[in-house]
């Protein structure tokens, strides 16, 4: 049963993300009534960062070896009518929270997707990869807190999808998701990530190779709006 007056539950899973968690939570907080933070067993200052978020509800749950399983556990702790999920290598641009509140009041809308910027650096300036598949890389991140909106454990263990995208949805223009994994990891670290993903899910090679963006020579474009202030702390 959902808790009254909790309309949107933010959800973030983490493990050893002390360097980035605060930025993710700070960007998500204006849109949510609570934020469920599930830690998989950090041995750095991740939990201390989570405690600084005034609306965080923190759960410690050993990482089960699957991001999808861990996120489904986190969804089960959410008390809101809606769930807004964000990763620790992402921040949200800031628009009026009321724009999100208006969306969730629409009776026929069951899910919302948002455009995502893959942020990189170009001659000292932040920009984004501006062609497909990097943009518009739409992400289903806001959905009704219902059983069908859980991650399907029978599909990819890496690039997880919901069991069923039921009801009508909305492809919102804002807020944007700023994805800064490419900024934070070296080429060697990203190559290791791709190698691991290939082993876990060999059928999704196209998605894996997105992390090696240099090979695609994707065009870069200036961010059309200033990135959130929290991004500069990363």
pLDDT per residue, tens digit, the chain (234 aa), is 444 567 999 999 999 999 999 999 999 999 999 999 999 999 999 999 999 999 999 999 999 998 999 999 999 999 999 999 999 999 999 899 999 999 999 989 999 999 999 999 888 888 999 999 999 899 999 999 999 999 998 887 777 888 878 889 999 999 999 999 999 999 999 999 999 999 988 888 989 999 999 998 889 999 887 666 655 555
Domain count for the chain: 1
Give the DSSP letter of residue 162. Answer: B
* CA distances (Å), origin 139, targets 121, 142, 214, 215: 22, 9, 22, 23
Note whether residue 233 is domain-resident.
no
Distance CA 72, CA 92 (A): 21
| Structural domain that includes position 215 | 8-228
Is residue 234 included in any domain, yes or no?
A: no
In a domain, residue 135? The reply is: yes
Query: Which CATH number goes with the domain that contains 81?
Result: 3.90.550.10
Residue 131 lies in a domain: yes
* Cβ 15 vs Cβ 41: under 8 Å: yes
What is the pTM (predicted TM-score) of this model? 0.92
- With respect to residue 2, please indicate whether it lies within any of the assigned structural domains: no
- Please state, as a whole number, how many other Cβ atoms lie within 10 Å of the Cβ of residue 161: 12
Token pair 């290598």 is found at 89
């Amino acid at each position: 049963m959902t808790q009254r007056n909790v309309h949107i539950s933010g959800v973030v899973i983490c493990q050893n993300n002390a360097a980035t968690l605060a930025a993710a939570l700070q960007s998500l907080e204006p849109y949510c009534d609570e934020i469920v933070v599930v830690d998989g067993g950090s041995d750095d200052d991740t939990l201390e960062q989570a405690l600084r978020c005034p609306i965080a509800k923190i759960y410690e749950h050993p990482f089960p070896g699957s991001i999808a399983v861990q996120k489904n556990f986190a969804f089960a702790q959410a008390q809101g009518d809606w769930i807004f999920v964000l990763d620790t290598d992402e921040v949200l641009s800031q628009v009026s929270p009321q724009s999100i509140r208006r969306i969730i009041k629409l009776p026929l809308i069951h899910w919302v997707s948002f455009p995502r910027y893959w942020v990189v650096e170009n001659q000292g300036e932040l920009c984004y990869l501006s062609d497909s598949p990097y943009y518009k890389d739409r992400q289903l991140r806001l959905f009704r807190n219902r059983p069908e909106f859980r991650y399907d454990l029978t599909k990819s263990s890496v690039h997880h999808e919901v069991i069923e995208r039921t009801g009508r949805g909305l492809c919102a223009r804002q807020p944007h998701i700023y994805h800064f994994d490419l900024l934070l990891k070296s080429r060697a670290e990203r190559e290791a990530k791709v190698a691991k993903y290939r082993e876990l899910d060999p059928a999704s090679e196209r998605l894996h190779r997105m992390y090696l963006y240099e090979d695609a020579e994707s065009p870069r474009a200036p961010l059309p709006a200033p990135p959130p202030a929290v991004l500069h702390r990363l």
